[in-house]
Structures are given as C-alpha cells and as structure tokens.
Amino acid sequence: MRVATWNVNSIRQRLDHLLVWLKDCAPDIVCLQEIKCVDEAFPREPIEALGYNVVTHGQKTFNGVALLSKYPLEESTPRLAGDDDDVHARFLEGVVSLKHGVARVACLYLPNGNPVGTEKYPYKLKWMSRLADYSRERLKAEEPLILAGDFNVIPAPQDVHNPAAWIEDALFKPETRESFQTLLGLGLTDALRAVTDAPGQYSFWITRPARGRRTTVSGSTTCCCRRRPATG
C-alpha cells in the first residue's frame, strides 16, 4: 500500500497538477493539506473518476484537509479531539478497509506556530499535545495507524539544509522537537528515517521566489508516522 501526502496550497489552483500526478503515480491513499475550500466546493468528481473515494474537512480560504483512497473508507472523523473551541480544519481521520482488516489514517495540517512570541506558538504546542493524546488512544486498539501530512516540524538538524537559519523558528524550537519526539516515543516511526539516514535527505524544505519572479512559496514537513510492528 502506497500512502502519499501533499500540501497543495489551494486545491482549485493545483487540481490539474494533482490529476496528472494521480494518474502517473497512482498512490493508494493520498492526504491533502491546505485545500482552502469548503466541502461543497471541493472538486471531487474528476478525482472520483480516477477511482478514489473522497472525504474532506474544508474551510473557506484557509486550512482544510482531504483524504483520497482507492480502498473503501468505512468511516471518517473530522477535527482533533481535545479543544471544542478549535474550529480550524486541520485534521481528518479515515478508517480504510483492507483485504485483511483495517488501517487508520489521519491527515493533518499542524499549525505553523510563528511568530513564536504570540499566541500562535502555544496553540501549536497544545495541538501537538492533543495529537499525542489521540495517538496514544488509537494505538491501544492494535490497529495500523498512519499520521500523514504537513507537520510543520523540523525534527532534527539533518532534516533541513541550513539548520542555523531556523534556530528561532517555531518549527525548530526545542519544545517543538520534543513534542515530535513524544509521538515517536509512543511507538510511531518517522517513515523517512526508517529507510535512510543518508545526508541530504530532508523532510523539510521551502521554495523561494527566484530572480524577482512571482512563484509559490511553500514549506512542508511531509513526514509520515506509522505504527511499529510488534516484536517478541
């Protein structure tokens, strides 16, 4: 089973690119972030025509997440538990029906947290604490669990090209990295580091405008956590 994740930064602006990518790569499950539209405006028809089941948790103009699955989706749950006042569309869980059992997939768009000296950073840390609580409970079920999306975290210096440039950024603050390590401590695995520790393999990158031309600026930690198989 191939699981992919992409911060599309507006589904309406990236739809053509998304459809080409889906046709070329044909991932089984796709997690999309920053779809930036309400559920009713999501262009599900051309995606469904490619054989995907689609569920969304949208929001006008900002945020929004979606799950695409070639497998049946038995159920879906929007919003991350732990804060009834948090109305931002940043989390969507789906239960995927497989040939032998089910897998639980959570698509997430973790808060950026900048500027650090504002209420945005405590909100980020609280959100990560809620994510840890969610993961802890879900792992009790002994079902495969995948957390995929834009984590907005630089877990370690080797995850970014120039770590010194990010020292004061919310994505690289010690508290942020400690919160990410809490997830791993629950029995989850950083999917990239599970297959390589080679230098130059970054889980975080950001594109910049070149030579004055207007281009899309995006930062993404598309790190996927998955439950370790039982041993012993």
pLDDT in tens, 121-141: 999 999 999 999 999 999 999
Query: Mean pLDDT, 10 residues at a time, over the chain (232 residues)?
Result: 93 97 97 97 98 98 97 96 97 95 95 97 98 95 92 94 95 97 92 89 72 40 52 40
Residue where the block lists tokens 């779809």: 35
How many Å separate Cα 1 from the centre of its chain? 17
CA distance 41 to 38: 5
Per the CB < 8 A criterion, the answer to whether 67 and 76 are in contact is: yes
Q: Which DSSP category does 10 fall into?
A: -
Per the CB < 8 A criterion, the answer to whether 43 and 15 are in contact is: yes
Per the CB < 8 A criterion, the answer to whether 154 and 170 are in contact is: no
Residue of 64, 50, 48, 53 whose CA lies nearest to 12: 64
- In the prediction, which pLDDT does 213 show? 39
pTM over 0.85: yes
- In the prediction, which pLDDT does 157 show? 95
Helix (H, G, I), strand (E, B) or coil at 66: strand
For residue 109 the two structure tokens come to 């768009």
CB atoms within 10 A of CB 232: 2
